[in-house]
């Protein structure tokens, strides 16, 4: 009975929406000069033609058909895709304020408390304040210097564990599991001055499971229909209920086991000196001063969990896969470290900057296997103009950064994993956005502030692995499967492959 009522309501809603949409689109058609794209139908827009899987490769195909700027009408949402360095510059730099907001959707609204965080909030006072408050505790060279010994120790612990495990050198292991623990430790040291002893640590397991669920639920294309077509939203009820439960559990876990624990510790011991402060101490100070509230504190923890840990882990995993599939590159990297640092001398953060081939391997990994290939979606709060077209307010703007970095019009054989390009024809290109063809961390106001931590962590981790092991595909296989798995704006490797690590002796 309930379902019938719901169906009846939905059909009525659909009918009303068709009429409204037809009227609106007539009006709009007159007023706006919209970017090219497939012809939309009422209600659904282009959704039925385009489908749910709006990944960087599909959007590249659309760009080849419709051009550097195109528009898809996904139900009620406008999606603008930008696919040239010039237009990326316009969106991220020249009109950085106009396009500096973020779209939200029904699912992200749940996980971010409707934009009470930093990563997914609109461009404005709140974002500015959050970014300012997070800068000193997370995004400065001082943070790197305070934490680099910790990262080196975590990478050394990975090397030790692998050396101790005889299976690693024979049938192989899923190294990713251990690297995941390492990345959690790298970030939880910065945030809370905490680390997890082992992969079996119950708190780590809980955290990992909830973060994994959050990531899966948010990146899935499964909920698009309810987001695009509001009258279908009732059918998402079950999905959104699960999202809310995961969100509540996660925020409670951050609060009970980490933030409150830290408060207890500092209230009994006091924060000794500036040097011993961890990130959350700074954030709690901002709360005490009344600059932010307790929810904002917890959403900062939430943001770091998603923005920092997974992205860097995926990039490490992609890097390892490419090094295994290109043994000659792996060997060249090992030779560079042996020559410039010394055989058996463990590389440290300052070493990473004087190893050009290591830098090139990291850059090439981030180019071909961009973890956030469409950047985090941008949005214009007000009607705007781009390339002579009208962009209606609150359009979702995707910059196809992956295509910019993999377009054969701009790169020599972009499909090849060839770090040498960054020492030869592309030697001036940096990861910080000095070239609009290469934006693995974005550029401009909403660019990734975590680049300052991510690059040294990538260098230390890949460097230590290559100098201590020969990394190979599992027995009987000649390559690792590098099929990707794309999400709303993420790209990770589909299979967490078993790999063989033969320890080197010095
Ligand atoms: C290899 C690792 C990483 C990659 C590839 C990456 C990439 C990105 C990209 C593409 C964006 C969006 C840029 C835009 O929308 O224009 C972003 C935003 C962000 N990243 Fe990263 N990131 C990485 C690591 C980190 C780390 C380690 C942290 C924190 C410690 C971090 C924190 C953030 C934050 C807070 C934002 C949101 C900035 C804003 O909206 O103002 N990221 N990242």
In angstroms, rounded to a whole number, what is the distance separating the alpha carbons of residues 99 and 391? 10
Q: What is the dihedral of CA 21, 27, 30, 31, to 10 degrees?
A: -110
Return the ligand 1 atom nearest residue 102 CA.
Answer: 40
Return the ligand 1 atom nearest residue 458 CA.
Answer: 1
Whether ligand 1 lies within 6 angstroms of the CB of 462 is answered as no
Stretch 214-228: mean pLDDT, rounded?
92
Whether ligand 1 lies within 6 angstroms of the CB of 119 is answered as yes
Whether ligand 1 lies within 6 angstroms of the CB of 311 is answered as yes
C-alpha 451 – ligand 1 centre gap (Å) = 7
User: Tens digit of pLDDT for each residue in 280-307?
Assistant: 999 999 999 999 999 999 999 999 999 9
Asked if pLDDT for residue 30 goes beyond 90, the answer is: no
Return the pLDDT at 5: 54
Return the pLDDT at 32: 87
In angstroms, rounded to a whole number, what is the distance separating the alpha carbons of residues 396 and 377? 6
C-alpha 121 – ligand 1 centre gap (Å) = 14
User: Tens digit of pLDDT for each residue in 53-69?
Assistant: 899 999 999 999 999 99
User: Tens digit of pLDDT for each residue in 96-153?
Assistant: 999 999 998 999 999 999 999 999 999 999 999 999 999 999 999 999 999 999 999 9
Distances (CA, A) of 83 to 37, 46, 91: 13, 19, 11
Does 448 appear as a known binding residue? yes
Residue nearest to atom 19 of ligand 1 (CA): 448
Asked if pLDDT for residue 29 goes beyond 60, the answer is: no
C-alpha 271 – ligand 1 centre gap (Å) = 29
Would you list the domain boundaries of the chain? 1-31, 44-503
Stretch 412-417: mean pLDDT, rounded?
98
292-298: long-range pairs with CB below 8 Å, 24+:
292/129, 292/130, 292/133, 295/113, 295/116, 296/116, 296/117, 296/130, 297/259, 298/251, 298/254, 298/255, 298/259
pLDDT class for 26, splitting at 50, 70, 90? Answer: low
Q: 10 Å Cβ neighbour count for 196?
A: 18
Asked if pLDDT for residue 1 goes beyond 50, the answer is: no
In angstroms, rounded to a whole number, what is the distance separating the alpha carbons of residues 360 and 418? 9
Q: Picking from 38-52, 119-133, 468-482, which range would have the lowest pLDDT averaged per residue?
A: 38-52
In angstroms, rounded to a whole number, what is the distance separating the alpha carbons of residues 369 and 416? 11
Within 8 A by CB and 6+ apart from 390, the residues are 31, 32, 33, 34, 383, 384
Stretch 340-359: mean pLDDT, rounded?
97
Stretch 150-160: mean pLDDT, rounded?
98
Return the ligand 1 atom nearest residue 92 CA.
Answer: 16
C-alpha 309 – ligand 1 centre gap (Å) = 10
Q: Picking from 45-59, 156-170, 258-272, which range would have the lowest pLDDT averaged per residue?
A: 258-272
Return the ligand 1 atom nearest residue 375 CA.
Answer: 10
pLDDT class for 476, splitting at 50, 70, 90? Answer: very high
**Helical H runs in 165-310?**
166-169, 175-192, 202-219, 224-228, 237-253, 260-269, 279-288, 294-304
Residue 501 φ then ψ, to 5°? -125, 105
Return the ligand 1 atom nearest residue 366 CA.
Answer: 5
User: Which strands, in side-by-side order, build the sheet including 101-102?
Assistant: 69-74, 77-82, 396-399, 378-379, 101-102
CATH superfamily of 44-503: Cytochrome P450 (1.10.630.10)
Residue to probe by mutation, ligand 1, list 102, 445, 450, most atoms within 8 Å of CB = 450
In angstroms, rounded to a whole number, what is the distance separating the alpha carbons of residues 250 and 303? 12
C-alpha 473 – ligand 1 centre gap (Å) = 30
User: Tens digit of pLDDT for each residue in 242-276?
Assistant: 999 999 999 999 999 999 999 999 887 765 555 47
Given the structure tokens 């009470």, which residue do they identify? Answer: 116
Return the pLDDT at 104: 84
Query: Is there a contact between 496 and 314 (Cβ–Cβ < 8 Å)?
Result: no
Return the pLDDT at 2: 47
C-alpha 237 – ligand 1 centre gap (Å) = 30
Asked if pLDDT for residue 90 goes beyond 80, the answer is: yes
Asked if pLDDT for residue 18 goes beyond 90, the answer is: no
pTM above 0.75, yes or no: yes
Whether ligand 1 lies within 6 angstroms of the CB of 300 is answered as no
C-alpha 416 – ligand 1 centre gap (Å) = 25
Question: Mean pLDDT in the chain?
Answer: 93
DSSP annotation of 41: B
Residue 67 in 3-state DSSP? coil
């Amino acid at each position: 009975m309930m379902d019938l009522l719901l169906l009846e309501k939905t059909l009525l809603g659909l009918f009303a929406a068709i009429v409204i949409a037809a009227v609106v689109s007539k009006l709009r058609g007159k007023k706006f000069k919209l970017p090219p794209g497939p012809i939309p139908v009422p209600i659904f827009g282009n959704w039925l033609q385009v489908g749910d899987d709006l990944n960087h490769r599909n959007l590249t195909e659309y760009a080849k058909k419709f051009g550097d700027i195109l528009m898809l009408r996904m139900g009620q949402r406008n999606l603008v895709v930008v696919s040239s360095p010039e237009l990326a510059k316009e969106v991220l730099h020249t009109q950085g304020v106009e396009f500096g907001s973020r779209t939200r959707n029904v699912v992200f609204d749940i996980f971010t408390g409707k934009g009470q965080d930093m990563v997914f909030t609109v461009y404005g006072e709140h974002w500015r304040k959050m970014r300012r408050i997070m800068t000193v505790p997370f995004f400065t060279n001082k943070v790197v210097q305070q934490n680099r010994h910790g990262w080196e120790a975590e990478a050394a612990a990975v090397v030790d564990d692998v050396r101790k495990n005889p299976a690693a050198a024979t049938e192989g292991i899923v190294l990713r599991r251990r690297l995941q623990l390492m990345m959690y430790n790298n970030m939880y040291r910065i945030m809370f001055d905490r680390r997890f002893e082992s992969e079996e640590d119950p708190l780590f397991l809980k955290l990992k499971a909830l973060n994994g669920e959050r990531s899966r639920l948010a990146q899935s294309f499964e909920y698009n229909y309810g987001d695009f077509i509001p009258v279908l939203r009732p059918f998402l009820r079950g999905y959104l209920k699960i999202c809310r439960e995961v969100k509540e559990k996660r925020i409670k876990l951050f609060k009970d086991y980490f933030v409150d624990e830290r408060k207890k510790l500092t209230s009994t011991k006091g924060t000794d000196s500036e040097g011993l402060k961890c990130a959350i101490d700074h954030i709690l100070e901002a709360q005490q001063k009344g600059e932010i509230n307790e929810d904002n504190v917890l959403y900062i923890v939430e943001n770091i969990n998603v923005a920092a840990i997974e992205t860097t882990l995926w990039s490490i995993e992609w890097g390892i896969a490419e090094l295994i599939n290109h043994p000659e590159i792996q060997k060249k990297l090992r030779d560079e470290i042996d020559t410039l640092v010394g055989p058996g001398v463990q590389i440290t953060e300052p070493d990473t900057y004087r190893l050009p081939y290591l830098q090139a391997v990291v850059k090439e990994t981030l180019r071909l296997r961009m973890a956030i290939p469409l950047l985090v979606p941008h949005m214009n709060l007000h009607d705007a103009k781009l390339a002579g077209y009208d962009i209606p307010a609150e359009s979702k703007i995707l910059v196809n950064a992956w295509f910019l970095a993999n377009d054969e019009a701009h790169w020599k054989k972009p499909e090849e994993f060839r770090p040498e390009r960054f020492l030869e024809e592309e030697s001036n290109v940096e990861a910080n956005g000095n070239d609009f063809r290469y934006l693995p961390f974005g550029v401009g106001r909403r660019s990734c502030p975590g680049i300052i931590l991510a690059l040294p962590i990538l260098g230390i981790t890949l460097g230590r692995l290559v100098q201590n092991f020969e990394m190979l595909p599992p027995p009987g296989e000649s390559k690792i499967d590098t099929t990707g798995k794309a999400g709303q704006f993420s790209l990770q490797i589909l299979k967490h492959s078993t790999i063989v690590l033969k320890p080197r002796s010095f």
